[in-house]
Amino acid sequence: MTFSISNRWEAGDGPSDTEDRLLEKYWKREGGLLFTEFSVTKGMDGRSRRVDAIRFPNPPVKEEAYCSKGNYDIIRQIIQRHEVELIEVHEWSFHAFGQVVGKAGIVKNRWNPYEVNKTVIPTNSRKSYYPNNERDEPTHEVFDKFGIEVEVLG
Model pLDDT for residues 15-66, shown as the tens digit of each residue: 567 788 888 888 888 999 999 999 988 878 888 888 889 999 998 888 888 8
Entry pTM: 0.83
Sequence-distant (6+) residues with CB within 8 A of 140 are none
Sequence-distant (6+) residues with CB within 8 A of 20 are 11, 12, 13, 14
* Cβ-based neighbour number of residue 42 at 10 Å: 10
> SS3 of 15, please?
coil
Model pLDDT for residues 79-137, shown as the tens digit of each residue: 999 999 999 887 666 666 777 888 888 898 989 999 988 888 777 666 555 555 666 77
> SS3 of 150, please?
strand
